Amino acid sequence: MTLKINEIIKDLLYLNDSLIIEGLGQFDAKYQPAKKNDIDGTIIPPTKAVSFNTNIKTDSDKVMIKYIVLNFAITEDEAQNSITDFVNATDAKIKMRGEIELKNLGVFYADANGNLAFKQTFSESLLQENYGMHNIPIPKELDKAPITKTTIIKKTKTTQTAIPMTEPEKKKGKTFRRVLIALPIIILLLLLIVFNAKVISWGEKMFAEYVNKKADKKELADNKTKKDSLKNDNTTKLDSTKTIKDDTKKADSTKVIKDDTKKADSTKVVKDETKTDDEKLKKEKDLDVKTEDLGAKYKDYYLIVGSFSQEANAQKLITELTSKGYRTEIIKNNPTKFRVSIGGYDKVDDAITEFKKYVSKNKKAEIWLLKNK
């Protein structure tokens, strides 16, 4: 079983404020209060800011191992081996490429001193109480209002005097109440119209199916009558000679077998052709698929073996793969991502075949499929 360690790390940071990756370092997720985004003038909800500390590399509580054993039904040794493989692969890729991306989490990279560093890139909140909350726009009136020194207003008991409404205000209130009463009725009428249209369409469809079935039954009855007539004629002719009758039976038997074989082959071909591309991709459990709109100039499928924020790091991987005989290219549909592909395909079968070949030669390699909308 291949574990997605980056997803496991994200889940554990959602549940905890710190997480130690044995042999690599410690993630710290500290509470970050809401703040104003000066770029688009919105309020960023409270979240967790994730940092990484390479000085702590030993997990005495084995939090990650226990989580993997509980959720993936494997032994502690198998969980430890998966974590060790992840750490070794991360170190190797950073030494070779300069950085490695953890999907939906961030980027590990080597800083100016050659030390391991981490940069958080995802925007999804890791706080349980505001999960899924988006940035809140600030009203223009509040954004432009001056900030005064007095920010606390003491409440005092006051006597409120009712202000009589003017005649136009009364009419406006009545009109608003009428609209509120009429609105549900209008919505209900629209729903009834749509429902009646669907019922009528369904009735017409059922009537058409009934007429077609009746015509099919009549055609089957006519064909049966013709077959019975032909059978009687053939029986009369075959009674004349016993030898001809036996030969005819053998020929009919052979023909029936051939016809059945042809039908079975035809059915098998139809079933194979009805398989959609999505069904074929679902069968490949080890192949991650991501769908994006790449544009008409790109092909339908690309096998991606690396994604970088800097083009220089992508060129390093291309040089390495080219020396091994792979035909590579960089997908630049996103100005902040440079994806290295080992092939583009118009048919999903070709992409799956090349994926299996690459994985058989590079068992621990990072590879996934980019599907063009």
Amino acid at 88: N
Q: Are 108 and 118 in contact (CB under 8 A)?
A: yes
Q: Are 19 and 64 in contact (CB under 8 A)?
A: yes
- pLDDT band for 273, please (50, 70, 90 cuts): very low
Structure letter (DSSP) for residue 124: S
The model's pTM is 0.40
β pairing state of 368-372 and 301-308:
antiparallel
Could you report the per-residue pLDDT of 156-179, keeping only the tens digit for each? Answer: 444 444 455 566 766 677 788 888
SS3 content of the chain, % helix, strand, coil (to 5): 50, 20, 30
Q: Does residue 252 sit within a domain? A: no
Rounded distance between C-alpha atoms, residue 358 and residue 326, angstroms: 10
Query: For residue 267, is pLDDT > 60?
Result: no
Residue 290 three-state SS: strand
What is the mean predicted confidence (pLDDT) over 124-142? 70
Q: Does residue 81 sit within a domain? A: yes
> Which of 38-52, 56-70, 129-143, 329-343 shows the highest mean pLDDT?
56-70
Rounded distance between C-alpha atoms, residue 369 and residue 371, angstroms: 6
Residue-level pLDDT at 160? 45
Q: Does residue 321 sit within a domain? A: yes
* CATH value at residue 332: 3.30.70.1070
Domain that holds residue 14: 5-137
Q: Which residue has the higher pLDDT, 170 or 184?
A: 184
Which of 137, 165, 181 is the last residue in one of the domains?
137
Residue 117 three-state SS: strand
What is the mean predicted confidence (pLDDT) over 37-59? 85
Q: Does residue 273 sit within a domain? A: no
Residue-level pLDDT at 276? 87
Q: Does residue 302 sit within a domain? A: yes
What is the mean predicted confidence (pLDDT) over 267-283? 68
* Count of the separate structural domains present in the chain: 2
DSSP string, 140-200: HHHHHSPPPS------------PPPPPHHHHHHHHHHHHHHHHHHHHHHHHHHHHHHHHHH
- pLDDT band for 283, please (50, 70, 90 cuts): confident
Q: Does residue 24 sit within a domain? A: yes
Q: Does residue 265 sit within a domain? A: no
| Residue 316 structure tokens | 């390093």
Q: Does residue 143 sit within a domain? A: no
Could you report the per-residue pLDDT of 75-122, keeping only the tens digit for each? Answer: 999 999 999 999 999 999 999 999 999 887 899 999 988 899 999 887
Which of 137, 161, 185 is the last residue in one of the domains?
137
- Contacts of residue 307, defined as CB under 8 A and 6 or more positions apart, other chains included, come to 101, 337, 338, 339, 340
| Residue 192 structure tokens | 């009834």
Q: Which of 59-68, 156-165, 183-192, 199-208 has the lowest mean pLDDT?
A: 156-165
Which of 137, 162, 196 is the last residue in one of the domains?
137
Q: Are 303 and 369 in contact (CB under 8 A)?
A: yes
